[in-house]
Chains A and B, each alone.
Chain A
Amino acid sequence: MTAVLTSADAPTEVPLKRRLKRAERARQVKALALVLPLLLFLLFTFAGPIAGMLWRAVDDREVRQILPQTIAVLADWDGKDLPDEKAYAALAGDILAARGSGTMAIAAKRLNYALNGFRTILTSTARNLKAVPEPGTAKETLGKINPAWRERATWTTIKDASGPLTGFYLLAALDLTRNIDGAIVAAPPDQAIYRNIFTRTFIISLSVTALCLILGFPVAYLLATLPPGRSNLLMIFVLLPFWTSLLVRTCAWIVLLQSKGVVNDSLHWLGIIDEPLRLIYNRFGVCVAMTHVLLPFMILPLYSSMKAISPAYMRAAASLGAPPVTAFLRIYLPQTLPGIGAGSLLVFILALGYYITPALVGGAADQMISYFIALYTTETANWGLASALGTVLLLVTLLLALLYGKLVQGQQVTGGMKN
């Protein structure tokens, strides 16, 4: 304080400002030091992997490393006719070199993604190519070993895979592909499955969000309005699912819902059904189990938004002549909108990434996008496609979050109540 007072004698304002900045800086450094461990942790475990995923979705360097001469020659190829003798000679050289180093399989795998059967073309060529062909005869030699080398599609596939960046995986994730002339077209029906899976993922997530909202709203209301003793007890029941593992809870649903399970047996015993209902390994089972797991994530934001609504508002509405239903719809409900938004967004985004629950209680037609991402990472090691699917999911989710942000921006109101 005294330091500031003495500096006030100086006519210029700059030193004071600088001093203020310095004082602020010390505080900022302290704050940064406090969050630094978490920041580093997040950087390595969250930001890093996500950046890696985004990169792998467009990274395409395998073919370039294994067939370098071919790629170099094909750079000048216009793709309209078959490439000339130079390209064949370069390819023969690359194949022989790759056979020597044993790296052919890597290129074969990548090229096989784009053109089914490419692996056979490459391996048969590598097996049958005895030595570097005489100059001028490479085209003829390769064509003789495998007639596929006389087709333009074989060569455009190599050129497309020449990297270093590619849109191939991202297009595949959206059921699109490049045709022989390089134009983007719909993928053939037997490969076009991802749009369907994305739609399914969003429908399941939306259903679960809606179910959570319908089931969670009255509970949250009760929590917010009961006297503290009883609401604490109820809160424990709400949080109970968090005390058991996701796997245990999901397996419990299998026990309950299977055809010889508790629910079917009870219904049969009561005489309501003759045949066991199919409650599991279908969409119903997935929605029930996911709703159960995600319900607390809906109830808690709703509860906190409802807790902030003073009972005086409902009394005021009644005294002004509003019947209970009108008062609820026009006064209470609008004030819970931020909570509804936050809860729904949370549940929806969590549901989008669900993997274990649908895998355990869903049928083949109920597997969500994360199942396929896991499949491509762990089973087939198609990292490019897995990353591309992840990227699409990430972008769509970000878009939804932004949309939500825009929607609630205008809604933010501070209560008129001061207490």
Chain B
Amino acid sequence: MEAGMVTPAPALVRFSGIQKTYDGEHLVVKNLDLDIRKGEFITLLGPSGSGKTTTLMMLAGFEVPTQGEIYLADRPIKNMPPHKRDIGMVFQNYALFPHLTIAENIAFPLSVRKINKAEAQERVKSALRMIKMETLAHRRPGQLSGGQQQRVALARALVFNPQLVLMDEPLGALDKRLREQMQLEIKQLHETMGITVVYVTHDQSEALTMSDRIAVFNDGIVQQIDTPDALYEHPVNSFVAHFIGENNVLAGTIETVEKEYCRVALAGGGAVTARAVNISGAGASTSLSVRPERISIILDGTSSDGPNRLPARVQSTIYLGDHALAVLDVAGNGEFIVKLQPDAHVNLRHGDSVFITFRPEDCLALDPV
């Protein structure tokens, strides 16, 4: 979907100046402007209470925006009841109708649309084939496993070819292995069917795995909308840097700013050069963000001398099979994590004095936390 960034597809959904409050006092969604392009897989990611689910519910029609308008294919839908919106939805707990069989559940959206029996049957059959559950057509939802129920819910939301499919933390109730498998299956369905998907989750790895674009929500505001790699490499503020992936934070004060880079004096002693991303200028305080895998540990303190070289003390090491982690004390941050090769941790012992170094472009100067 990178091509979409060059020639943007037309917006299928447009949130325009959306605000939402439940109690009339504080806004759950503050001034949301968001375009969702036709055919893309967009994830609304954020901690609980950030407004992402409310946004999805407003799009589905179960909540009405307090202010602003939502356009679906250029038609305002703020006051359109949910059943007329032609939006498929997969719910957190599947919401399969317990008194109907699997086949009847999948046929439900077709029968309320008065699609003739023969065609409906054909479409239910091919939907069952798609989720590889032809043999279970006459079971009831209660007799299925969580993963199977999830597939049925998917098939039911897709069988009537909606212009948009919403998914509200659909994999939340599944165990890790099954969740990962379902992520790939959903991604594959999206690619083969060319549908537009709006996906809500609080799990950043799920968002990174599946999305074309991710909208990071916090405190009722979209912090950043971007592709997964852009979010990881170029977070616009400390919240995004923190929320996406692992991240080390060092507090400091900006001494000088020079073009795209700045020199920062650390609160715990020492100074480093960092990329100036979100700072107010010389003299302001800042939070530096460095990814664990962009840091090297130097065992003998005599070798190379770079711009970003800080003394560190080893706290502990953690072996994780495919890689290892070193937990260091760096400039007053006692939980500074460095990612290592699997066997590199054997050289580090609690209390060892070492040096760490990282490139200036891997260190981002962001708004203070």
Query: What is the chain A residue whose CB lies nearest that of B92?
Result: A312
Q: Is A335 in contact with B83, judged by CB distance below 8 angstroms?
A: no
Q: Is B91 in contact with A312, judged by CB distance below 8 angstroms?
A: yes
Q: Is A323 in contact with B91, judged by CB distance below 8 angstroms?
A: no
Q: Is A416 in contact with B142, judged by CB distance below 8 angstroms?
A: yes
Give the residues in chain A near B84, CB-CB below 8 Å: 321
Does A414 make an interface contact (CB < 8 A)?
yes
Output the least CB separation between B72 and chain A (Å).
13
Q: Is A318 in contact with B140, judged by CB distance below 8 angstroms?
A: no
Task: Please report the C-alpha to C-alpha distance between residue A320 and residue B89 in the assembled complex, in whole angstroms.
Answer: 7
A383-419 interface with B by 8 A CB criterion = 411, 413-419
Interface string of B274-300 (1 = CB under 8 A from A): 000000000000000000000000000
Inter-chain contact total with CB atoms closer than 8 Å: 100
| Known A413-B142, A416-B149: A321·B98 in contact at CB below 8 Å | no
Does B178 make an interface contact (CB < 8 A)?
no
Does B41 make an interface contact (CB < 8 A)?
no
Task: Please report the C-alpha to C-alpha distance between residue A247 and residue B88 in the assembled complex, in whole angstroms.
Answer: 56
B124-176 interface with A by 8 A CB criterion = 140-142, 144, 146, 149, 156-157, 160, 166, 173
Q: Is A312 in contact with B62, judged by CB distance below 8 angstroms?
A: no
Does A316 make an interface contact (CB < 8 A)?
yes
B87-114 interface with A by 8 A CB criterion = 87-89, 91-99, 108-109, 112-113
Report which of A320, A335, A417, A418 forms a contact with B99, defined as CB distance below 8 A: A335
A103-153 interface with B by 8 A CB criterion = none
Interface size class of B (residues with CB under 8 A): 35 or more
Q: Is A320 in contact with B88, judged by CB distance below 8 angstroms?
A: yes
Query: What is the chain B residue whose CB lies nearest that of A315?
Result: B62
Report which of A321, A322, A417 forms a contact with B86, defined as CB distance below 8 A: A321
Q: Is B81 in contact with A316, judged by CB distance below 8 angstroms?
A: no
Give the residues in chain B near A414, CB-CB below 8 Å: 98, 142
Give the residues in chain B near A316, CB-CB below 8 Å: 89, 91, 95-97
Output the least CB separation between B7 and chain A (Å).
32
Give the residues in chain B near A326, CB-CB below 8 Å: 112
Task: Please report the C-alpha to C-alpha distance between residue A416 and residue B145 in the assembled complex, in whole angstroms.
Answer: 10
The number of chain A residues with a CB under 8 A from chain B is: 27
Q: Is A321 in contact with B160, judged by CB distance below 8 angstroms?
A: yes
Task: Please report the C-alpha to C-alpha distance between residue A212 and residue B95 in the assembled complex, in whole angstroms.
Answer: 31
A312-348 interface with B by 8 A CB criterion = 312-313, 315-324, 326-327, 330-331, 334-335
Give the residues in chain A near B86, CB-CB below 8 Å: 321
Task: Please report the C-alpha to C-alpha distance between residue A321 and residue B97 in the assembled complex, in whole angstroms.
Answer: 14
Give the residues in chain A near B173, CB-CB below 8 Å: 418
Output the least CB separation between A197 and chain B (Å).
39
Most buried by A among B88, B97, B113: B97
Does B82 make an interface contact (CB < 8 A)?
yes
Does B61 make an interface contact (CB < 8 A)?
yes
| Known A321-B160, A322-B112, A335-B98: A315·B83 in contact at CB below 8 Å | no
Does B325 make an interface contact (CB < 8 A)?
no
Give the residues in chain A near B61, CB-CB below 8 Å: 318-319
Q: Is A315 in contact with B91, judged by CB distance below 8 angstroms?
A: yes
Task: Please report the C-alpha to C-alpha distance between residue A319 and residue B63 in the assembled complex, in whole angstroms.
Answer: 13
Query: What is the chain B residue whose CB lies nearest that of A319?
Result: B89
Give the residues in chain B near A323, CB-CB below 8 Å: 81, 83, 112
Q: Is A317 in contact with B108, judged by CB distance below 8 angstroms?
A: yes
| Known A318-B81, A321-B160: A416·B97 in contact at CB below 8 Å | yes
Task: Please report the C-alpha to C-alpha distance between residue A411 and residue B100 in the assembled complex, in whole angstroms.
Answer: 10
Q: Is A416 in contact with B81, judged by CB distance below 8 angstroms?
A: no
Task: Please report the C-alpha to C-alpha distance between residue A335 and residue B98 in the assembled complex, in whole angstroms.
Answer: 8
Task: Please report the C-alpha to C-alpha distance between residue A313 and residue B60 in the assembled complex, in whole angstroms.
Answer: 14
Give the residues in chain B near A419, CB-CB below 8 Å: 93
Q: Is A413 in contact with B95, judged by CB distance below 8 angstroms?
A: no
Report which of B95, B98, B157, B160 forms a contact with A315, defined as CB distance below 8 A: B95
Output the least CB separation between A410 and chain B (Å).
11
Does A310 make an interface contact (CB < 8 A)?
yes
Task: Please report the C-alpha to C-alpha distance between residue A418 and residue B61 in the assembled complex, in whole angstroms.
Answer: 25
Report which of B94, B113, B140 forms a contact with A413, defined as CB distance below 8 A: B140
Give the residues in chain A near B95, CB-CB below 8 Å: 310, 312-313, 315-316, 416-417
Output the least CB separation between A415 and chain B (Å).
4
Q: Is B60 in contact with A319, judged by CB distance below 8 angstroms?
A: yes
Task: Please report the C-alpha to C-alpha distance between residue A319 and residue B157 in the assembled complex, in whole angstroms.
Answer: 8
Output the least CB separation between A304 and chain B (Å).
16
Give the residues in chain B near A411, CB-CB below 8 Å: 99
| Known A334-B99, A417-B98: A321·B109 in contact at CB below 8 Å | yes
Report which of B60, B62, B83, B99 forms a contact with A321, defined as CB distance below 8 A: B83
Report which of B82, B94, B109, B166 forms a contact with A416, defined as CB distance below 8 A: B94
Give the residues in chain A near B98, CB-CB below 8 Å: 335, 413-417
Query: What is the chain B residue whose CB lies nearest that of A323?
Result: B83
Q: What residues make up the interface of A, taking CB atoms closer than 8 Å to B?
A: 310, 312-313, 315-324, 326-327, 330-331, 334-335, 411, 413-419
Top 5 nearest A-B pairs (CB, nearest first) are A416-B141, A414-B142, A316-B95, A319-B89, A320-B109
8 additional A-B pairs beyond A320-B88, A418-B173, beta carbons within 8 Å, are: A312-B91, A312-B92, A318-B81, A318-B83, A319-B88, A320-B83, A322-B83, A415-B142
Q: List 9 A-B contacts (CB under 8 A).
A: A315-B82, A318-B83, A320-B112, A321-B112, A321-B113, A323-B83, A413-B98, A416-B140, A416-B142
Q: What residues make up the interface of B, taking CB atoms closer than 8 Å to A?
A: 60-62, 81-89, 91-99, 108-109, 112-113, 140-142, 144, 146, 149, 156-157, 160, 166, 173
